[in-house]
Amino acid sequence: MSLSMNASLTWSTSGPAGLDADVTWRVWHRSNSSSAWAAIADINNFTINNSTGTPSQGVIKVDLTTSATGTFGTFYDQRVLAYNQPGEYAIAAIDAKSVTAPTQAETMACWVNSNDLYYSTCVIENGSNTTGGTAQSYRYSIENTGSNSYYCPNAISGLPYGYSHVPYGQYVTQFYTDSTLSTVFSFADAGSGVSNYKGFITSGSSPYNNGGTVKYKFSTRFNVSDAKVYEPNPWTQCYVEACSSANGCSPNIYLYPFAP
């Protein structure tokens, strides 16, 4: 299951030189109505910190601002968490507030979508569903040289392409050679049946490929035989590292318009 936690604001009137809004997302899980609520690890081994702290300590704090562009428009921020533990989930937008908003229409709005992670019929980009309500596959460009240590290359483009039923790069578990997801992608063996670290990005059309500066780049190793994410044991980090974040396990951040 994927939880898409969204925030937006629209700057449409004259006034201060930009809008500003804040929200902190928190997620709890319990197995049944008799269990205690608690934070649990997502399928990328990230556990949200439901106490106080900084983003690098697992806190999902959003600062949504228009000041980076200085132009009118609608601005979005999206964080995605994915879980595979059955039970009940509670999601809260804590301390949600519009710091600067000249009109009621320009204040922040928050909402949450839940969907199947692997066959998503609702993938939000710029506040809209990109799938048309039909599950689809997603193309990724893979930097196939790699390295024997954690590796985020400067540039990734073109072939080879891999395909996944997962739209969110940090949750890709396996790559296929074509959009029908019928043939498993293969990697060169760097020893013991495992590839080097590989960098990859969403390629082609939406979702989450702005055509300019690549903001959502990922790196991991794969099992050679079935191109599944390699999870060494023990493992204290996320299984797929997000290259664009100071804390590689943090949920993705998507902004529109794409600001520095």
Q: Which residue has the higher pLDDT, 200 or 52?
A: 200
Residue 258 has pLDDT above 80, yes or no: no
The span from the CA of 65 to the CA of 82, in Å, is 26
Residue 209: the pLDDT is 67
Taking the CA atoms of residue 229, residue 200, residue 136 and residue 225 in that order, the dihedral angle to the nearest 10 degrees is -40
Beta strand 2-11 pairing with 217-220: unpaired
Determine the average pLDDT of the residues in 21-28.
93
The span from the CA of 106 to the CA of 71, in Å, is 14
Phi, psi for 44 (deg, rounded to 5): -105, 15
SS (H, E, C) 180-204: CCCCECCCCCCCCCECCEEEEEECC
- H or E stretch covering 4: strand 2-11
Residue 134 has pLDDT above 80, yes or no: yes
Among the residue ranges 99-113, 147-161, 180-194, the one predicted with the least confidence is 147-161
Using a pLDDT cut of 70, give the percent of the chain over it.
86
- Spell out the residues 6+ positions from residue 236 whose beta carbon is closer than 8 angstroms to its own: none
The span from the CA of 257 to the CA of 67, in Å, is 11
pLDDT in tens, 137-170: 999 999 888 888 888 888 787 789 999 999 998 9
Residue 56: the pLDDT is 56
How many Å is the Cα radius of gyration of the chain?
Answer: 19
pLDDT in tens, 61-98: 888 887 766 678 888 888 899 999 999 999 999 999 88
The span from the CA of 108 to the CA of 25, in Å, is 14
Q: Which residue has the higher pLDDT, 157 or 26?
A: 26
- Alpha helices of 129-243 — where are they, by DSSP H? none
Residue 226 has pLDDT above 80, yes or no: yes
The span from the CA of 67 to the CA of 18, in Å, is 5
Determine the average pLDDT of the residues in 102-117.
90
- Spell out the residues 6+ positions from residue 67 whose beta carbon is closer than 8 angstroms to its own: 17, 18, 20
- Spell out the residues 6+ positions from residue 206 whose beta carbon is closer than 8 angstroms to its own: 125, 130
Residue 245 has pLDDT above 70, yes or no: no
Using a pLDDT cut of 90, give the percent of the chain over it.
42
Residue that is written with structure tokens 């692997």 in the block: 118
| Mean pLDDT, the chain, integer | 85
The span from the CA of 158 to the CA of 188, in Å, is 18
